Structure 1
Amino acid sequence: MTSHRIDSLGRIDRSKPIRFTFDGEDVHGFAGDTIASALLANGIGIVGRSFKYHRPRGIWGAGVEEPNAIVDVIAPSTIRNCRATTELAVDGMIVRSVNASPTAARDRNAFLDRFARFIPSAFYYKTFMWPDWHLFEPRIRNMAGLSVLDPNLDLPRYAEQVNESYDVLVIGGGAAGLYTALKVVEAGQSVILCDDGHEFGGALLHRSAIIDGIAGVEWITKVVARLAELGTRLLPRTTAFGVYDHMLIGLNERRKDGTDRLWRIRPKTVVLATGAIERPLSFANNDLPGILSAEAGLSYLRRHGVAVGRHVVIAGNNGHTQEVASALAAAGSKVTVVDYRKGQRLASAHGRGRVSAVTLEDGTRIVADAVLTSGGFTPTLHLYCQARGKLRFDDTLLSFIAGDEVDRVLIAGAADGRFGLQDVLQSAAAVLSKIGVAIEAIPEVGCEAPDSAIAPAWPQPGMAGRVWLDLQHDVTVKDIELAARENFVSVEHLKRYTTLGMATDQGKTSNLNGLALMAQLTDRAIPAVGTTTYRPPFTPVPLASLAGMRGGPLMNPPRRLALENEHRAAGANLREYGGWLRPAWYGDMTEDAAIQLEATKARKTVALFDGSPLGKIEVQGPQAAEFVDFVYYNTMSTLKPGRCRYGLILNEAGVVYDDGVLVRLEENRFLVSCSSSHVTGVHALLEEWRQDRFDRNQLFIHNATADTATLTVSGPRSRALLEAVDLGLSLDDEALPHMATSWGRFGPENVRVTRVSFTGDRCYELSIRADRAAPLWSRLQEAGRAFDAVVLGLEALMLLRAEKGFIVIGKDTDGLTLPMDLGVSTPLAKKPVDFIGRRSLFSEEARRQDRKQLVGLDVLEGNTPLATGAHGIEATVSGKRSIGYVTSSYSSPVLNRPIALALIERGASRHGEIIQIQHLGKTRNARVAPPCAFDVKGERLNA
């Protein structure tokens, strides 16, 4: 292959030379070169190795369709498995081939091709089953893949993400896309135009064209400048990779600084001006380096000033090769045209490592250092299919084109099967009329349209030699024939049996030829064979782009308390709990010592606790009572205003999803006080059932958790402390009994005071506007000094609640825990109305007698708490087995002994039984007890 630079041609900037390395070899180029064009300009023919046989591969295409030239860019930034045809060359860049060792030209694994007859398609399904697949799996997986990830590389961790809405999204910046975008924006609609090329223009950048009396490239410049002047959002180097629900379009922009940006666009209308992809021709040894797409050959010549060879054979079944031949001949190449429409056909290519000659079917041998082929064009309709469009086969074009129209998706230009420039602009005008933009006359075209006649040039059964269909995955005509013989004739089976179309190019150049061959082998028409399902992404999307800004601390940013500064000033040690950054304990003593001290003082005097993350979701409206009855396992509609009730929320499987207190504020207004870590989930659950089952005009839900701070005063002296603060309401037990709520005042602010307890002691929850919490917290601390008050961290609170047997959902329950496992069975028997999960509680699984049930555990020896997660075990004939596990375990300073909660098989019937608890090989004895270990009668609630 003697590809070389032509000094007088190209759109590159020759005033800016660049130099980079490929597999250690110096490569010279200019600004505007892609990696591929620079490699061709330097005469480098072998740029990679095929996946299975490690055959030498050269550049075939000039864009996203490229199956061979997959490379790793090591510097200045790291890009794995990128296409050399789409990545701009940069001075100082270090580029390496993939799937080759040490280099593409000298790959030590090239010997695998000698064993090709023994490893056809699907050989691994048959070869590695005996004696055991797992013996071979590690080595096979090690050989799989193209590039190798280095965990020590500093890869981009995040990318910017943008959400926008436009009237029209135009995908593709060729003639059809540019013209459509211009007329739409001139009509006053908002437009975003994207193209995956480095500049707008599409085929106009390398095809001769006269539009409105000026050259095509000048027309491009004029239109782009006008679009920018009118405020059009212009996104070159941007690929529309997917169409998702509700017409959400994903775009990935490759920015000039090497970073990516993800665009999520919701347009009213999408115009697909995505062009078409040229198909290869099928003949023996058609995978040799130096065999390229004809369109790519013209693109390299006109865009980059690179002639792909000095002796060029151009073979095609259509008239689009005529301009390619004329352009190369004018550049000084000796050109031979093989026109399939005249009965001439290529039989085979020859060469060692690169093409050196071809033989025609009539036996004529032609010397060639480059072969350009064109088997017709396949409209790029991946996004149309992702939008649930159905393809139909056009016998005139010999290709699949769009079938029925898809709502809000319009197609123009080559994507619509229009290939002459006049037809392209006419199709754009037809699209504009559907958008509501009137066009009096399309631009005048002053160039001759290519001959539209096309002859079939499909691969044939029984072709001599090795005829390659999927160049990256080494799928040949014989592989398709093997699939047909073994009855893998379904298009989906064919894909998986042969891996046709499963390479990184996703079959852009190989699928249709493979389908056409299968059609002949099974005596069917091509459309009867069908196509595989098109799924996003159209081309690979960097993980950093999909991740967005969610990296490091931004992956799941912790939510912060309104009083965080006050807690820090008090010496709080902060940890993340359920997404919130909260005080774990206070002071500079050890964690265990601080927890024990805080818990002791909370039981003896009074404790102040910031419970602001506690859920506060309001349910309002005429259907509110009916709604909470449906949502909760317990009956809630019988609550009187100003009263509270503890309840469970189940999922549809009957599993306990959350627990908490429901407050009835008014007749048609409830407050769902759910667990801190479940607020988002409970809110989503409530909203889902509201929309699914209830009248949206009779029921309203508002999440007020972030708006309101909740400060807890708990302990024997809590009432006295609040009386000293004076919130302007009676704290008498008759006026404000346990499980009741009332309103008070703190200065000008309303304060909701609720008698509920998570510690088992008398307790008051004070809820106030979050931005007014600091003065109230300061006043509580000031008044608390007279009562020896303690500031309570979350770890001490967890100890206090465990003493009472109060559960934490997700800690003392698992994904199988039903309400009956927690000892709550009455609602199932007596609740008269339906509720979430009710049917599941009558299943055979729910009625099992050996279910794990909540219990307490008394440690029988030593003062060391049981390990959380330790298993209860019992002996069986075959050895030991687990009968459950410890869910919470603490050392109780009040009881002066360890306490624990556990889920144990048949736990409710085991009270008093001694069981063994095993952890890390050590066994201890514990007595099964009721969950509540402190103040069993609940006398301290009113103490």
Structure 2
Amino acid sequence: AWMVYEHFIRNAAGLGRAGEEPDPDRYEVRNLFADVAVIGAGPAGLSAALAAGEAGAKVVLVEQDFLAGGTLLSEPADGEARAWLSVTLARLAHMPNVSMMTRTTAFGAYDSNVLGLVERHGSGTADPAKGEARQMVALLRAKTMVYATGSIERPLTFANNDRPGIMLASAARTYLNRFAVLAGTRVMVATDNDSAYSAAFDLAAAGAEVTIADGRAEPTHERLEQSRHWGIAVRRKSLISNALGRHAVRAVTLSEPGGTITLKCDLVVVSGGWSPTVHLTCHLGVRPVYREDIKDFVPGKLGAGQFVAGAVTGGFITAGAIEEGHRAGAEAAAFCGATKSVQPPFSLDLAEINAGPNGSHFVTSPRSGPLPHFVGGKDGSPARRPQDSLPTRSGERWFGNRKAELTKGKAFIDLQMDVTVSDVALAHREGYESVEHLKRYTTLGMGADQGKTSNVIAISAMAGLRGMAVPDVGTTTFRPPYTPVAVGALAGRSQRHLYKPFRRTPMHDWHVANGAQMLETGVWMRPSFYLASGRDVDQAYPAEMRMVREAAGLMDISTLGKIDVQGPDAAEFLDRVYVNGFAKLPIGRARYGIMLRDDGIVFDDGTTMRLSERHFFMTTSTAKAADVMSRLEFLLDTAWPGLRVSVTSVTDEWAAMSVAGPTSREILAAAFPDLNVSNEALPHMGFLEGRYRDKPLRIIRLSFSGERAYEIYTGASVGKEMWCRLIEAGTPFGQKPYGVEALGALRVEKGHVAGPEIDGRTTLDDLGLSRMAGKRSGYVGDVLGRREALSDPARPRLVGLRCLEPGKRLSGGAILFRPGERMHGHGLGRITSVTYSPTLDASVGLALIARNAAEEGAEIVAAYPMKGQTVRARIVSPIFLDPKGERLHG
């Protein structure tokens, strides 16, 4: 079914297309350290930072907004809350041990008190040309954390609640008090808690006509009195059930005990309560705890050095948040050993700002009424929380008696992912009752907001459908990042060449100047092909192959790993590292060797030459050079610390090049007239030593192409000069340089294994190399390499394939099946390497196929399901060319 619907789903609205161009922006990464990290610069966070700073702790205060203050910024500009904010910010500004990071989001909390922060550029449009970073990620390591992350207001679910003109009460209040924008003139405020009344009063003060629909039977007396003062009608037991209007809201339908009523409006302000922002504490593996009194989740028990304060704890009174923040900041500082005296929480000259009639200090809004101070009042009574009078039955807060009316239009729970009440009900009917199943079945909370306004609503809805309490239903798992972070920001400057610096051989400049098309191969830049051989790779590499087979070719092989092995036990060490013995290797000779991992799987191959009784020169594959070096050091440090051996990477000290082809000996003789390079003096796997420009010179005869070939090693500083000397000597013999595409094709013709075959899954038997080990034992991987499972007839065996269909070519990665066999699953094996062989005029390849099906001469079908392609091929020997080695030894 997925294949049928995939096209439509991927083209659905909301699924964007990732850009294909490089990210043009610049990013930075830095590390920060603090005694106390305070997340959130609302009233609780500011109070915590102030207390910790006064105690002498080094404090970093993080705020995602570009201004500190949190909910206080939504208070009227002339209110006492703003005055308290000004006093507090002034105190913090004079503390050198307190740093405030605005426009910075704590996107993740990790082990060992590490916070991931992302700081956004101030203007929002950073100019990379000026060195401006769009985002900067900071890893903040602190001794203690204070989470003052606040809370997020929830919407209400009712029909057509996605209409323009419907917004949260906190949003309407922020528009008005912070940005001087009155969002509507005829306002309907729908709520089930006290906090929306503050927005209603502010809107009324700005000149709007306001009506409140409160779902509760008895709103608090104080709010009712204030509503009468502002001339606001409060409709009790009134639930909004529908929003009317096509392009914008024009009216609402209210469900009341006496029936339904429709009222005109141009703005609907909703508040379904507040959800503590528990995400960061959940990142630490702390499960949130459901609080029945606030009908929501709060952080669970935190570890030592972790503190919470403010609305995140479920307390939604400003004065209480300030006190909690002060206490948390002082305790956090004491945890770090900062013990300077700290002023009481409300001694910030607040008495001069405002004093209540009974002597208690207040943080007030002139329109919403004073909020009693938790400490210092003569009556000592606690303040009412805005959600104290919420209904208690599970699910009632979200549905109540509105169920019938909800069927008249879509009631959205997750506005970003278009998840409706009916979607949750469908998930329940289909059996996806688990919260995690619900999330994935409906895509609930999978948008950029990660369900910040919708998760609790959906959980409550599912609880109602299942007849369970909300905590029994559970909650989703919050994971970093809290909000999206640009991938580039995580990398910082570690991009392009700064992420993976390219290594260049001593002859790199010559290659570029002479038309080489450079290819990124791991960390190296290597010539793919030369334009002198063809206009593109498909034309060039066969021409370069013919050149090597018929005359000679010169290749830069400086990228091979080179390791110097010395010491009295060097031969014994190599005997244990390689599957084939090196202790009896004569001085002046070289040997091809295979290394295994501990589990018996092939690790790498390479060649090692013996320079003296205690001195060896090892080469490795380009891809595994660093891994082999690390492995050798590990073995000497842990497995065989008693061996008297030293290993040194000398890759960058040597330039290396290979002359291959029928005329290679003549070229070598012309380049080095003083050296005897005859077959007798320099046989296959023999080598010579000399000097060139006061640099060591080593010439070894070995081949990767199947032709007679020589590898020349000299000092890197004279590598380019040596290359030019060989170019000059070889030109009369038809020699030209060739690239890695031709090299790869040449090795396939000869049946040499390389990375595609040595892929971390194959054994010596799989690759037909078990004869190299013979009956030896004691080498790395010997014991586990003899496991019965590694001799299973179903294991792969290396074979050659030759295409049987003219005009078609084999494809790397194709799956192999018997003719007429149903093509499904993993088949009998896979093609590892392919090439077009101009010598054979055929498409050939190497493959790993089940041993019980690897019969030479048998026909096989190579399938490429993603492209709908099939090609018939015949199983042949993996050595397509010169099976007797006459070219190699000639």
Q: What is the TM-score normalised by the length of structure 1? A: 0.68
Match of 2:120 among 245, 248, 253: 253
Match of 2:557 among 601, 611, 614: 611
Name the CA shift for 1:145/1:478 in 2 (closer, same or farther; >3 Å): closer
Match of 1:239 among 89, 105, 110: 105
Match of 1:342 among 198, 215, 218: 218
Which residue does the alignment assign to 1:174? 42
Which letter does structure 2 place at the counterpart of 1:676? T
- Quote how far apart the aligned CAs of 1:918 are: 9.2
C-alpha distance in structure 2 between counterparts of 1:318 and 1:924, whole Å = 73
Match of 1:390 among 262, 266, 287: 287
Kindly provide the CA deviation profile for residues 682-740 of structure 1, in whole angstroms up to 9, marking residues without a partner as x: 678889999998989999987654564323355324664575478xxx98999988657
- State, as a whole percentage, how many aligned pairs show the same letter: 32
1:431-830 aligned at under 5 Å gives the runs 431-438=332-339, 440-442=341-343, 444=347, 446=350, 447-448=362-363, 449=371, 451-453=383-385, 454-457=388-391, 459-460=395-396, 463-465=401-403, 466=405, 468=411, 470-472=413-415, 488-519=432-463, 522=466, 524-542=468-486, 559-577=503-521, 580-586=524-530, 588-590=532-534, 608-616=554-562, 644-649=590-595, 656=602, 658-662=604-608, 673-679=619-625, 705=651, 708-713=654-659, 715-717=664-666, 720=669, 723-724=672-673, 739=685, 745-750=691-696, 756-760=702-706, 763-768=709-714, 770-781=716-727, 790-798=736-744, 800-802=746-748, 804-810=750-756, 818-826=763-771, 830=775
Question: Is 2:28 the counterpart of 1:162?
Answer: yes
CA contact (8 A) 2:606 2:620 kept: yes
Which letter does structure 2 place at the counterpart of 1:822? L
Which letter does structure 2 place at the counterpart of 1:610? D
C-alpha distance in structure 2 between counterparts of 1:456 and 1:698, whole Å = 78
- Quote how far apart the aligned CAs of 1:167 are: 0.7
Name the CA shift for 1:379/1:742 in 2 (closer, same or farther; >3 Å): farther
Which residue does the alignment assign to 2:168? 293
Kindly provide the CA deviation profile for residues 115-137 of structure 1, in whole angstroms up to 9, marking residues without a partner as x: xxxxxxxxxxxxxxxxx676666
Match of 1:201 among 64, 69, 79: 69
- Quote how far apart the aligned CAs of 1:277 are: 0.9
C-alpha distance in structure 2 between counterparts of 1:281 and 1:596, whole Å = 69
CA contact (8 A) 1:278 1:375 kept: yes
Kindly provide the CA deviation profile for residues 376-432 of structure 1, in whole angstroms up to 9, marking residues without a partner as x: 322212122123222223345443222232477554443344543333333333333
- Quote how far apart the aligned CAs of 1:533 are: 1.0
CA contact (8 A) 2:42 2:148 kept: yes
Which letter does structure 2 place at the counterpart of 1:423? E
Which residue does the alignment assign to 1:91? none
- Quote how far apart the aligned CAs of 1:679 are: 4.5
- Quote how far apart the aligned CAs of 1:865 are: 12
Which letter does structure 2 place at the counterpart of 1:931? I
Which letter does structure 2 place at the counterpart of 1:647? G
Name the CA shift for 1:479/1:800 in 2 (closer, same or farther; >3 Å): closer
Which residue does the alignment assign to 2:244? 352
Which letter does structure 1 place at the counterpart of 2:141? K
- Quote how far apart the aligned CAs of 1:305 are: 1.2
Name the CA shift for 1:479/1:757 in 2 (closer, same or farther; >3 Å): closer
C-alpha distance in structure 1 between counterparts of 2:74 and 2:642, whole Å = 58
C-alpha distance in structure 2 between counterparts of 1:504 and 1:479, whole Å = 20
Kindly provide the CA deviation profile for residues 632-687 of structure 1, in whole angstroms up to 9, marking residues without a partner as x: 66567887898754334567886656433356789999876333245467678889
Give the stretch that moved more between structures: 529-538 or 315-324.
Answer: 315-324
C-alpha distance in structure 2 between counterparts of 1:287 and 1:874, whole Å = 58
Question: Is 2:274 the counterpart of 1:377?
Answer: yes
C-alpha distance in structure 1 between counterparts of 2:119 and 2:716, whole Å = 40
Give the stretch that moved more between structures: 717-726 or 455-464.
Answer: 717-726
C-alpha distance in structure 2 between counterparts of 1:667 and 1:381, whole Å = 68
C-alpha distance in structure 2 between counterparts of 1:909 and 1:478, whole Å = 55
Kindly provide the CA deviation profile for residues 593-625 of structure 1, in whole angstroms up to 9, marking residues without a partner as x: 976786677678875431112233678999999
- Quote how far apart the aligned CAs of 1:184 are: 6.8
C-alpha distance in structure 1 between counterparts of 2:793 and 2:708, whole Å = 38
CA contact (8 A) 1:799 1:892 kept: no
C-alpha distance in structure 2 between counterparts of 1:186 and 1:641, whole Å = 75
C-alpha distance in structure 1 between counterparts of 2:306 and 2:699, whole Å = 57
CA contact (8 A) 2:805 2:871 kept: no
1:48-87 aligned at under 5 Å gives the runs none
C-alpha distance in structure 1 between counterparts of 2:157 and 2:821, whole Å = 67
Which letter does structure 2 place at the counterpart of 1:204? L
Which letter does structure 1 place at the counterpart of 2:170? E
How many equivalent pairs are there? 798
Kindly provide the CA deviation profile for residues 899-941 of structure 1, in whole angstroms up to 9, marking residues without a partner as x: 9554375899989848699999999997934616337256855
Match of 1:399 among 287, 291, 296: 296
Secondary structure at the aligned position of 2:592 is classed as strand
CA contact (8 A) 1:603 1:716 kept: no
CA contact (8 A) 2:565 2:618 kept: yes
Name the CA shift for 1:257/1:671 in 2 (closer, same or farther; >3 Å): farther
Question: Is 2:332 the counterpart of 1:332?
Answer: no
Which letter does structure 2 place at the counterpart of 1:807? V
Which letter does structure 1 place at the counterpart of 2:452? K
CA contact (8 A) 2:40 2:64 kept: yes
C-alpha distance in structure 2 between counterparts of 1:459 and 1:872, whole Å = 57
Which letter does structure 1 place at the counterpart of 2:151? A
Which letter does structure 2 place at the counterpart of 1:275? G
CA contact (8 A) 2:50 2:326 kept: no
CA contact (8 A) 1:176 1:428 kept: no
Which letter does structure 1 place at the counterpart of 2:477? T
Q: What is the TM-score normalised by the length of structure 2? A: 0.71
Which residue does the alignment assign to 1:424? 325
Name the CA shift for 1:249/1:586 in 2 (closer, same or farther; >3 Å): same
C-alpha distance in structure 2 between counterparts of 1:879 and 1:390, whole Å = 47
Which letter does structure 1 place at the counterpart of 2:107? F
Structure 1 residue ranges without an equivalent (≥5): 1-131
C-alpha distance in structure 2 between counterparts of 1:751 and 1:134, whole Å = 61
C-alpha distance in structure 2 between counterparts of 1:194 and 1:347, whole Å = 39
Match of 1:272 among 147, 152, 176: 147
- Quote how far apart the aligned CAs of 1:777 are: 3.3
Which letter does structure 2 place at the counterpart of 1:534? F
RMSD of the alignment, in Å? 5.6
Which residue does the alignment assign to 2:358? none
Secondary structure at the aligned position of 1:821 is classed as coil
Secondary structure at the aligned position of 1:494 is classed as helix
Kindly provide the CA deviation profile for residues 155-189 of structure 1, in whole angstroms up to 9, marking residues without a partner as x: 88343332211114554333444565677789998
1:31-46 aligned at under 5 Å gives the runs none
C-alpha distance in structure 2 between counterparts of 1:627 and 1:525, whole Å = 68
C-alpha distance in structure 1 between counterparts of 2:584 and 2:102, whole Å = 60
C-alpha distance in structure 2 between counterparts of 1:416 and 1:361, whole Å = 34
